[in-house]
């Protein structure tokens, strides 16, 4: 449940536009500051809300809808309210929505590392934010491979819904695909593929914990759709792969590595990187047109900033250039644009602070939660 504390009004005057203070009433509690700013000097005529805090007191954690990969959708406020200690939340990465009349898994686009566990590999080339390292990157560095009787079998993807087919994305069911218990859907199946089921020898450590090696005991195989049970790892591989020689009771090892940090989430695009504004592709109309926006960023002094801009798709809100100027006014030097538009949400002080485009808070696939440091 959410920790409810009293927010006291304090003065906030370091932001100045045209000689006048830009901040509206500012509230804070134990190092957590929530305020609104006037963006008119930068062409933004809709409400801009900011949450700022010190990483010495609060951490940013990735939350999954229903605590699962492809587990559906939940509002950021619900994810926060159901997470012990959570005091604020903003919506997370982009996600795919299935066609009307079909199950809506909220299929995540980018990579996800949560508490040092690699939960999802990117479906497409995608920008990422290392939430602990306060850095951004154009890609997601990771590798995972099985050692099967001395033969290395690279893992192609982890907990990805395949095959994928939507705008400009067409990924076939191919390669060696690994699925863990947080994956909510049945394994994809096709002729010529087999699902191999394993149990984790050490159930105290998640099998895809980064920079570790896990021992997996082979149990059985199946050609039909299966759901990954707790404590299991299931691997979909082509018939004739090195896994086909395994006998029940055999042990393989799984090594997963990444330099992306223990909490990492995707977004698009990078707005600022170590003080440098990153040019936006003129053909990217989503960024050159005004939209409602959600952003995660960090100041030169290491403060974390979450910012939302209200708006209506393609009509009002902020462009990428306006976003950068707003962020620079807050002394932000590194920032990644998160899912925006109707997904834009900032939850704090027990309520949604911004005005969602469709009038109500939209359920999403992932969120970023603000929780106190231990």
pLDDT digits (tens, 9 = 90+) for 52-72: 999 999 999 999 999 999 999
Query: Is 278 a residue whose pLDDT tops 70?
Result: yes
Name the DSSP class of 6.
P
Query: Is 366 a residue whose pLDDT tops 70?
Result: yes
pLDDT digits (tens, 9 = 90+) for 173-201: 999 999 999 999 999 999 999 999 999 98
For residue 255, the cross-strand partners are: 145, 213
Q: What is the mean pLDDT of residues 259-284?
A: 97
Residue 103 — pLDDT band, cuts 50, 70, 90?
low
pLDDT digits (tens, 9 = 90+) for 291-338: 999 999 999 999 999 999 999 999 999 999 999 999 999 999 999 999
Query: Is 138 a residue whose pLDDT tops 90?
Result: yes
pLDDT value at residue 115: 97
pLDDT value at residue 145: 98
Q: What is the mean pLDDT of residues 234-249?
A: 96
CB atoms within 10 A of CB 89: 30
Where b means 16+ CB within 10 Å and e means fewer, 272-299 reads: bbeeebbebeeeeebbeebbbbbbbbbb
Q: How far is CA 210 from CA 59, 270, 316, 365, 367, in A?
A: 19, 24, 41, 23, 21
pTM, 2 dp: 0.91
pLDDT value at residue 100: 60
Q: How far is CA 337 from CA 132, 203, 260, 306, 323, in A?
A: 17, 36, 18, 10, 9
pLDDT above 70 coverage of the chain, percent: 91
Residue 1 — pLDDT band, cuts 50, 70, 90?
very low
Query: Hey, what are 65's tokens?
Result: 């809808």
pLDDT value at residue 97: 75
pLDDT value at residue 7: 27
Residue 164 — pLDDT band, cuts 50, 70, 90?
confident
pLDDT value at residue 210: 98
pLDDT value at residue 54: 95
pLDDT value at residue 16: 28
pLDDT value at residue 102: 66
Residue 168 — pLDDT band, cuts 50, 70, 90?
confident
pLDDT digits (tens, 9 = 90+) for 75-102: 999 999 999 999 999 999 999 877 666 6
H/E stretch holding 328? helix 320-329
pLDDT value at residue 245: 95
Query: Is 21 a residue whose pLDDT tops 80?
Result: no
Per-residue DSSP letters for 77-146?
HHHHHTSTT--EEEE-S-EE-PPTTS----EE-S-EEETTEEEE--SSS-EEEETTTTEEESS---EEEE
Query: Is 225 a residue whose pLDDT tops 80?
Result: yes
Residue 27 — pLDDT band, cuts 50, 70, 90?
low
Q: How far is CA 302 from CA 279, 327, 333, 334, in A?
A: 23, 14, 9, 10
Give residue limits of the domains in the chain: 8-112+262-372, 143-257
Residue 20 — pLDDT band, cuts 50, 70, 90?
very low
Query: Is 25 a residue whose pLDDT tops 50?
Result: no
pLDDT value at residue 271: 98
Query: Is 290 a residue whose pLDDT tops 80?
Result: yes
């Amino acid at each position: 449940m959410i920790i409810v504390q009293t927010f006291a009004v304090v003065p906030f005057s370091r932001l100045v536009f045209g000689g006048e203070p830009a901040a509206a009433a500012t509230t804070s509690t134990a190092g957590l500051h929530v305020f609104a700013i006037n963006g008119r000097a930068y062409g933004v005529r809709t409400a801009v809300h900011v949450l700022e805090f010190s990483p010495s007191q609060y951490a940013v954690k990735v939350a999954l809808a229903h605590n699962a990969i492809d587990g559906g959708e939940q509002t950021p406020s619900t994810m926060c309210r159901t997470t012990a200690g959570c005091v604020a939340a903003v919506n997370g990465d982009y996600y795919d929505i299935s066609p009307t009349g079909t199950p809506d898994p909220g299929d995540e686009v980018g990579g996800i590392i949560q508490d040092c566990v690699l939960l999802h590999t990117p479906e497409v080339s995608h920008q990422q934010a290392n939430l602990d390292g306060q850095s951004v990157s154009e890609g997601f560095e990771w590798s995972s491979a099985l050692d099967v009787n001395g033969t290395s079998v690279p893992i192609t993807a982890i907990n990805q819904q395949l095959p994928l087919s939507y705008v400009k994305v067409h990924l076939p069911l191919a390669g060696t695909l690994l699925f863990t218990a947080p994956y909510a859907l049945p394994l994809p199946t096709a002729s010529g593929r087999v699902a191999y089921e394993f149990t984790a020898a050490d159930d105290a450590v998640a099998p895809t914990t980064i920079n570790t090696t896990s021992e997996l005991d082979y149990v059985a195989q199946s050609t039909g759709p299966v759901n990954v049970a707790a404590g299991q790892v299931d691997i979909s591989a082509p018939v004739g792969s090195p896994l086909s020689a395994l006998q029940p009771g055999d042990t393989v090892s799984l090594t997963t590595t990444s330099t992306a940090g223990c909490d990492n989430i995707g977004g698009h695009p990078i707005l600022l990187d170590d003080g440098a504004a990153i040019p936006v592709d003129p053909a990217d109309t989503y960024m050159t047109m005004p939209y409602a926006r959600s952003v995660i960023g960090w100041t030169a002094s290491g403060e974390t900033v979450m910012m939302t801009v209200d708006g209506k798709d393609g009509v009002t809100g902020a462009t990428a250039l306006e976003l950068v100027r707003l962020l620079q006014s807050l002394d932000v030097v590194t920032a990644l644009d998160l899912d925006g538009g109707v997904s834009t949400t900032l939850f704090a002080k027990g309520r949604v602070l911004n005005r969602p485009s469709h009038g109500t808070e939209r359920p999403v696939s992932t969120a970023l939660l603000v929780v106190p440091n231990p």
